[in-house]
Amino acid sequence: MGARKAAGIAVTLLSLLTLAYVFATGLANGMIGCAKPVLQLSIKTNDGTKTCIVPGAVVCDSKSLAAEKARLAKLGEEAKQGRLPAECSAEGQVTGYKVVVTPVDSSIAVATVAAWMGLLVGPWLAFGERPSSINPR
């Protein structure tokens, strides 16, 4: 077996194992990687409408993500009733809010795309460039 073929098989197997682990973890966590929900408040002031951002915590599973989103939504409701969070110093009326989920880079997500690339080149290294025949199938 040539070095190229051996490297190809090794990269393919490693990528498959990584993806199997990632997908199993994703199924257990309800997501792959981590995210940070943020609360965006629209505040009407004398100078016009401003947006105040209240960052949430970084979470890496869907249950925690849902809980964090609910916590921020509650803050948004409270802000609409006049109780502005400490992050927002602007004086004015909160006219609306929304909770947005922003992605965060994590080792498991980076491993996922690395395995993705590995799977792209691994079989090519292992099996070579040419199809077994030139008859169109």
Partner 1 sequence: MAVPVAAIVLPVLAAYAVGYVLYGKKVLQERIVKADASRKTPAYTRFDGVDYVPANKWVLYGHHFASIAGAGPIIGPALAAVYGWLAPLLWVIFGNLFIGAVHDYLALMASVRHGGISIMSVAEGVMGRKAKYAFLVYVWGALLLVLAAFLSVAATVYASLSPNAATKAVIYMPIALLLGYLMYRAGLGIVKSTVVAVILAVLGYVYSYYVPLYLTYSTWVYVLMLYSFIAASLPVWYLLQPRDYLNAYLLWAFVGASALAAFLILGAPVKQPAVITWVAPAATIGGVGPIGKEPLAPFWPSIVLIVACGSLSGFHSVVASGTTSKQLANELDALLVGYGGMLTEGAVSTLAVITPIAFAWSDAFMNMKPLARWLTGYGEMFGAALGGVVGAEVAAKAASIFAAIALTTFVLTTLDTANRLARFAWSEMFDFLADRNPGVYKVLTNRWVASAISIILGGVMAVQTIGGVPAWRIVWPAFAGTNQLLAALALMTSALWVYTVLRVRGALAATVLVPSVFLWVTVTAALAWWIVVILPHIPPVYQVGAGSVAVISFLLDLYLFYAFVRRMTSAAREVRVEAREASRS
Residue 65 has φ and ψ, to the nearest 5°, of: -65, -45
Nearest to partner 1 of 39, 84 (CB atom): 39
- Binding characters for partner 1, 47-86, by CB under 8 A (x = yes): ----------------------------------------
Nearest to partner 1 of 35, 88 (CB atom): 35
C-alpha 2/C-alpha 24 separation (Å) is 33
3-state secondary structure of 81: coil
Nearest to partner 1 of 18, 88 (CB atom): 18
3-state secondary structure of 26: helix
Q: Which of 26, 37, 76, 92 binds partner 1 (CB under 8 A)?
A: 26
From the centroid of its chain, how far is CA 72? 18
Note whether 40 binds partner 1 by CB under 8 A: no
Residue with tokens 């929900």: 37
8 Å CB contact between 49 and 95: yes
Q: What residues line the site for partner 1 (CB under 8 A)?
A: 19, 23, 26-27, 30-35, 102-106, 109-110, 112-113, 116-117, 119-121, 123-124, 127, 129-132, 134-137
